[in-house]
A and B are shown apart, each in its own frame.
Chain A
Amino acid sequence: MHGGAEFGVMSDLPRPFPPGDYPVVVVGSGPGGLQVSYSLRQLGVPHAVISADPSPGGMFRRWPLFQRLLSWTKPYAADGAGSPRYERTDWNSLLADEPEARALQATHMDGASYFPSRPEMEANLVDFAARAGIEVRYGCAWESTARIDDGSEMRFALTTSDGVYRCRVAIFAVGVAEPWNPAIPGIELAHHYADVRPPPSYAGKRLFIIGKRNSGFELASGLLQWAKSIALASPTPARLSVVTKSLMGVRARYAQPFEDNALGGGCVILDAAIDRIVAEGSALRVHLRRSSDGSALSVEADDVINATGFITPLRDLPALGVATFGQSRLPAQTAWWESATIPGIHFAGTITQGAPSLSKNGIPPNSGAVHGNRYNSRILARRIAETAFGVAPLATPVSCDGLVPALMREADQSADLWHQRGYLARVMTASTDHGIADRGMMPLTAFLDEATDTDGVALTIESDGTGAIYPVLYVRRHGNIAEHRLPDNEMADFTTAEHRKAMAAAVADLGT
Chain B
Amino acid sequence: MAGREEIVAALSQFALFADLSPPQLEMIAGELGEAYFADGTRILRQGLSGSGLYFILDGSCSVVVNGEKRAELKRGEFFGEVSALLERSPTADVVANGAVRCLVLPAPEVHKFLIGHPPLMFRMLQVQASRLAAANAWRG
Contacts and interface: CB of A to CB of B under 8 A. Distances in A.
Question: Are A and B subunits of one complex?
Answer: yes
Interface of A: 182-183, 234-237, 271-273, 289-291, 294, 323-327, 329, 332, 334, 340-341, 354, 356, 358-364, 422, 448-449, 464-465, 481-483, 485
Contacts of B109: 362
Contact of B2 (A272, A329, A340): A329
21 contacts: A182-B4, A235-B29, A235-B30, A236-B31, A289-B22, A289-B23, A294-B21, A325-B34, A325-B101, A326-B2, A326-B34, A326-B36, A334-B38, A356-B37, A360-B49, A361-B107, A362-B109, A422-B50, A481-B48, A483-B47, A483-B48
B140 interface: no
Interface string B113-130: 000000000000000000
A323 B99 contact: yes
B5 interface: yes
Nearest to A296: B23
Contact of B22 (A273, A332, A364, A449): A273
A485 B89 CA distance: 13
B76 interface: no
A236 B108 contact: no
A327 B49 contact: no
Given A235-B26, A324-B2, A332-B36, 12 more contacts: A294-B23, A325-B34, A325-B35, A326-B34, A354-B36, A358-B51, A359-B33, A359-B104, A360-B48, A361-B50, A465-B108, A485-B49
Contacts of B34: 325-327
Closest CB pairs A-B (n = 10): A362-B106, A236-B30, A360-B50, A235-B26, A340-B38, A325-B36, A332-B36, A291-B27, A361-B50, A273-B26
B75 interface: no
A327 B109 CA distance: 21
A362 B52 contact: yes
A362 B107 contact: yes
A448 B23 CA distance: 40
A294 B108 contact: no
Given A324-B2, A332-B36, A356 B41 contact: yes
A334 B4 CA distance: 24
Chain A interface mostly: loop
Contacts of A358: 45, 48, 50-51
A291 B104 CA distance: 20
Contact of A327 (B3, B27, B35): B3
Contacts of A326: 2, 34, 36
Interface string B13-35: 00000000111101101110111
B85 to A, nearest CB: 15
A360 B51 CA distance: 5
Interface in B57-113: 89, 99, 101, 104, 106-109
A340 B50 contact: no
A325 B37 CA distance: 10
Given A234-B30, A291-B23, A332-B99, A183 B35 contact: no
B45 A448 contact: yes
A294 B22 contact: yes
A323 B27 contact: no
Given A236-B30, A329-B2, A356-B37, A272 B23 contact: yes
Contacts of B27: 235-237, 271, 273, 291
Contacts of A359: 33, 52, 104, 106
B24 to A, nearest CB: 7
B107 A482 contact: no
Contact of A182 (B3, B31, B52): B3
Contact of A464 (B31, B50, B52, B99): B50
B93 to A, nearest CB: 11
Contacts of A465: 106, 108
Contacts of B89: 483
A86 B107 CA distance: 33
B138 to A, nearest CB: 27
